[in-house]
Structures are given as structure tokens and as C-alpha cells.
Chain A
Amino acid sequence: MKILVLASFVIVLGLFLFLTQVPVDITPEKVSAAVSEAVSKSEATVDEDIVKQVVLSSIEVLEKGQSKRLKYLAAAYLVIWLVFMLYVLRLGQQQQQLDQRLAQLEQTSNGEE
């Protein structure tokens, strides 16, 4: 049981670290290529450079917020597994103490007999 909770905790932490380390897949070159393709398909006349700038600045805004969002996500999952972990540890301790007391009691009863 303890192993299950600890392993899940480690996995969540590992996934969080992994997610924050993922390199940004959308490079300016990719944005330029995608915008050029979209503009060439479009029938409306648009300024390609302005569109590129808008798209790039939108991506920048989203990327800046990502670390903040991931912190909230990690905090929530840390809290969830921490509560489970503490509860399971307490259960384990309780069972251990009871087993010890039972053994002591049985020993005392046998000694008296």
C-alpha cells in the first residue's frame, strides 16, 4: 500500500518535471511557414508580417502563463497524494501498534496462566 502511494507520488512529480522540461515545439520558423501557407490559401488580403507578429506574441503570452499554470496543477496533485500518503502511513502505524499491544497482552495472559 505504502509503495503504491509513494510510487504514484513519484510518478506525478516526475510527470510534472517532465512536462516543465518539454522544449517548446512551436518555433518562429514553424509559425512563419504556417502563416505563409494560411495566407496563400486565404482569399482575403492580409499583411503576412502583422499576422506573424500577432501569432508569435500570442504564443509568448501562453508560454509565460504555462509555468504558473503548471505550478497550480502540481500543487493540487501534491496535496492530493500527500493526504493519501499521510493517511496510509497513519494506518500502517496504527496496525503496527495494535499488533504489538496484542502480542504483549497475549504474552502477559500466557505468563499469568
Chain B
Amino acid sequence: MGNLSTKIIGVITALLVFISLYLIFGYARIEGTMLEVQKIFYYHVSAALTVYLAFGINCIFSVKYLVQRKPNDDLLASASAELGLIFCTIVLLSGPIWARYAWNTWWNWEPRLTSTLILWLMYIGYFILRSALEDDKRRLYSAVLGVVAFVDVPIVHFATKFWKSEAHPERGAKFDIAPSMLYTFLVALVACIMLFTLLLIVRYRVKKTQARYEIMQQKHLREASG
């Protein structure tokens, strides 16, 4: 992807982020039960849905790497996993702040929270594995782990259906919110996805530069020694 397209994505993302923030604070109706605190919902839920997307991309490119063995697929998979981890961290940090007001506790071991924490830990493991292995083994094993770890994504999504939860709404429950809140949520979701796309492009480029540097360094060492 060229510099111009990245800049265009950057400008669209910036506009969407600004518009979403304006809508959250200036347009969306204040919810009746939790009042202003409910406004955390817009980026908390959008970030959670972006986590699914990020780990989904990681899984797809991990499979692609296992089939075709192209190093670039591994780079894209790991860049996506890294961003998934960042968005998951945001979910795990903003959630407890909301919970402290709504449930009067920072954390409780309810199904969705627990499965999300497990998901986060699994991808931490993914990066520990990557840092511990050399090139080919690193690509192969982390691709396998990327596919295995993705199994937790549907578990997180359907956690409230599998196990009874009083905190998060059950999967399939009627999404009954005021139109102003719905539009705001949709804009925040698109802004989050665009932000993810932009960061993914930048991260992928950094990883490619790093790979290029490592190849050049090895070549240089070989030339120096022989």
C-alpha cells in the first residue's frame, strides 16, 4: 500500500475519530440508568469488536502461512495479533472503570471477563513464543498458536450464552437503544476499525523494515567472515 493511500486512510480515520468523539459527548442521548458513565460503552464495545477482527486476520494469515510458507504472511499475522492485543488491553482497562461504577467492583470473574482475560493471556503467550524462537521455527509455531488461540474468540463472544451472566447482556438479546446512541455507536465502531487498519499498515511496514534489516545484517556478517 502506497504512502498516498495511507495518508488518505489517516485523514479519514482522523475525521471519523473526531466525529465519533463529538457524537459521544455532544449528540448521543444520556442513558437513563448509568447516565454519563454509559458513554464508555461506545469505545469499549467498538474496541472489543475490533479485537475479534484483529485476531481473525491473525488466524487467516497464520493459516495462509502454514499453507504457502510466505514470510510476509507471518509478518502480517503477527502485526495483527499485536494490534489485537493493544485493543484487548483497552477493553480490559476501560471495562473495570465502567464496572467500578456499574457493579461497584473493579473486577468479577464472570464468563465474558474471564474468557477475555484468557484471550489476552493466550496472545501474550503468542509473543513470548515468538521472542523465544529462531526464524523458521518462530513462524511455524506461532502460526499454529495463532490458529489455536483464535478458538477463544467465539468462546468470548458466546460466553454469556454458554454460562449465565448477570453483568453482560446475553448474546442475541434485543439491541434496543435510542437511534442517537445507535448511530454514535456505529460511527465509533467504524472509527475504531479504521484506526486498527491504519495502525496495522504502519506496524506491517515497521516489521518489513525490520526483516529487511535482519537480512542485510546477515548478508553483511557473511561477507565479513568469508
Partners in one complex: yes
Once the chains bind, are A73 and B40 in contact (CB under 8 Å)? Answer: yes
Interface residue from A66, A76, A88, A105 paired with B98 (Cβ < 8 Å): A76
Chain A proximity of B77: nearest CB distance (Å):
18
Mark the stretch among B148-156, B169-177, B213-221 that contacts chain A.
B213-221
Interface string of A88-105 (1 = CB under 8 A from B): 100100110011011001
Instruction: Please count how many residues in chain A sit with their CB below 8 Å of the partner chain's CB atoms.
Output: 37
Residues of B within 8 A of A7 (CB): 14, 18
Report if A72-B40 is in contact (Cβ < 8 Å); known contacts: A87-B86, A87-B199. yes
Across the two chains, which residue of chain A brings its CB closest to B224?
A112
Binding site secondary structure of chain B: helix
Report if A4-B86 is in contact (Cβ < 8 Å); known contacts: A72-B97, A76-B98, A87-B199. no
Once the chains bind, are B209 and A102 in contact (CB under 8 Å)? Answer: yes
Once the chains bind, are B25 and A19 in contact (CB under 8 Å)? Answer: yes
Residues of B within 8 A of A15 (CB): 21, 25-26
Check if A59 is an interface residue, CB within 8 A of chain B.
Answer: no
Report if A73-B39 is in contact (Cβ < 8 Å); known contacts: A1-B202, A80-B90, A94-B206. yes
Residues of A within 8 A of B25 (CB): 15, 19
In the assembled complex, the Cα of A12 lies from the Cα of B44 at a distance in Å of 15
Residues 78-119 of B contacting A (Cβ, < 8 Å): 86, 89-90, 93-94, 97-98, 100-101
Report if A95-B86 is in contact (Cβ < 8 Å); known contacts: A15-B21, A73-B39, A76-B94. no
Residues of B within 8 A of A99 (CB): 209
Once the chains bind, are B10 and A72 in contact (CB under 8 Å)? Answer: no
Interface residue from A62, A69, A83 paired with B37 (Cβ < 8 Å): A69
Chain B proximity of A45: nearest CB distance (Å):
29
Report if A105-B216 is in contact (Cβ < 8 Å); known contacts: A8-B18, A76-B98. yes
A69-B36, A98-B206 are known contacts; what are 11 more A-B pairs with Cβ within 8 Å? A7-B18, A8-B17, A77-B43, A79-B93, A80-B47, A94-B210, A95-B206, A105-B217, A106-B216, A109-B220, A109-B223
A interface residues (Cβ-Cβ under 8 A, vs B): 1, 4, 7-8, 11-12, 15, 19, 62, 65-66, 68-70, 72-73, 75-77, 79-80, 83-84, 87-88, 91, 94-95, 98-99, 101-102, 105-106, 108-109, 112
Give me 11 A-to-B residue pairs in the complex whose CB atoms sit less than 8 angstroms apart, sorted by A's number. A1-B10, A1-B202, A11-B21, A69-B34, A69-B35, A69-B36, A91-B199, A91-B202, A101-B213, A102-B212, A105-B216
